[in-house]
Amino acid sequence: MSKLCSLSFLLLFSWLVRAQSTTETSTEPTQDSIKERQFLKQLGDGYLPTKYFNFDLRYLVKYNQYEALRTGLGGITNDAFSEKFRINSYVVYGFKDHRFKYSIGAGFRIAEKTNTWLDVTYTDDLQETGSYPFLTDKRFFQLFEPRLLNISLFHKIISRTISLEYQLSPNILTETQLSINDINPTYAYEFALDGNNYSSFDLSMAKIAVQWSPFSQFELAEKGVNQIKDGFPKFTFQYTKSFKDVFKGDFNFSNVEFKTIHQIEHKNESLSEITIVSGISNGNTPLTHLYHAYPNNINKEKILRRFSVAGTSSFETMFFNEFFSDKFTTIQVKHALKPFNISEKYKPQLVLISRFAIGDMDNINRHQNITFGTLEKGFTESGFEINKLLFGFGFSFAYRYGAYHLPNIDDNIAFKFTFNLTL
């Protein structure tokens, strides 16, 4: 029922946005149309703006297997409140675990031209085990995040962080973060190390991320840098170091992640995209901070019971919690054909997709009370999407083959909805 409510909300929101975007009919820009475009841009970034405070739509409604329905409010103060100081916070509630989660933070602008901000934040929330969010991607927004519906492996995290955002140059964005974290898995996991079994642990960490967009074009503005052309390829690097015995940290380990995205626009209006992501962990790293390949297949026997919504960059035939790695690489290739010009407003699009993942893990016996495989043989799947058939929804099909092909043919097939909405 909660999933159905979420889909109903998305349909309504999609219709409202389409109605909003078609109200402008004048050929000459007016003050109202400029405000409308600014409003839609902020909405596309995941914010609902008000006079002094922008509500963050990421916290409005979500669903997962641990919390069931998760709903709340959050946001950040805007320039009308202050151009040198900001407050950001959220509070959400999970109806299955009956628990509030929250975050509160404050930031101070140190330098305007380089958009340098110093932030301090306290957070008590959940994080998906095996995920590896890049600091510089934190404003990535999806109205609907389909993978969340079926995630079951989370760990509780209480973090105290201090971070520094700095625009090193128009093409280089950096963020550095220091944090103290209390980690408590919500599942029966223990990390065996030096004769001790850790069911919860503390991590003292330093992290730095660099996003380099060498082919994007920017212009200097009065209040920083504005992007005027989105160029490819883009590169993101991230390094994390965990320190033992610093602020009671339990483990020494380091993680390095890399991501690059490249797009090629063809003369026939088709578009090719390749995404490469890689990571490696060294040291005594618990499963919470290792890697999965963003699987998106529900652990149910019948193919119809696995019918859900496809992600934008997930492995649709890989089951949740099936594989983990301490070193991995994924390659995803998409080729979007020219949209079918059925009418001025109705233009569905066929996208061909192929994905590959390879990985491995040392000292797998350290991870107790949980069973998973590794990816040393290479995981492959291919398929297609037909997008924007109705209200942003479409269909996708993916087939799993190669070394990890399963004996039951149905288990290698993923047939799902897609959802794409462009503001």
The pLDDT tens digits of the residues spanning 298-310 come to 888 777 778 888 8
| pLDDT number for residue 309 | 85
At 76, list the tokens: 């950040």
| pLDDT number for residue 395 | 93
| pLDDT number for residue 271 | 96
Strand partners, 118: 108, 164
Single pTM value for the model: 0.88
At 323, list the tokens: 């594989």
Which residue's structure tokens are 């983990």? Answer: 324
Mean pLDDT of all residues belonging to the chain? 88
Least confident of 109-123, 151-165, 291-305, 393-407: 291-305
What does the pLDDT average to over 199-222? 91
| pLDDT number for residue 143 | 59
DSSP letter for 301, please. S
Enumerate residues 6+ apart whose C-beta is below 8 A from 225: 115, 167, 170, 218, 219
Residue 195 pLDDT grade (very low, low, confident, very high; cuts 50, 70, 90): very high
Instruction: Reply yes or no on whether the pLDDT at 141 is more than 80.
Output: no
What does the pLDDT average to over 321-344? 96
3-state secondary structure of 307: coil
As a whole number of angstroms, the distance between CA 341 and CA 347 comes to 5
Please give the helix or strand (H or E) that residue 35 lies within, else none.
Answer: helix 31-44
At 93, list the tokens: 């509630």
Residue 339 pLDDT grade (very low, low, confident, very high; cuts 50, 70, 90): very high
What does the pLDDT average to over 155-182? 96
As a whole number of angstroms, the distance between CA 324 and CA 16 comes to 41
Enumerate residues 6+ apart whose C-beta is below 8 A from 27: none
Q: Closest by alpha carbon to 120, among 152, 77, 151, 85? A: 85
Which domains does the chain possess? 2-419 (2.40.160.50)
| pLDDT number for residue 11 | 44
What is the per-residue burial (b if ≥16 Cβ within 10 Å, else e) of 15-50?
eebeeeeeeeeeeeeeeeeeeeeeeeeebeebbebe
| pLDDT number for residue 87 | 97
What is the per-residue burial (b if ≥16 Cβ within 10 Å, else e) of 369-393?
eeebbbbeeebbbbbbbebbeeebb
Q: How many CA atoms lie within 13 A of 224 on its CB side?
A: 19
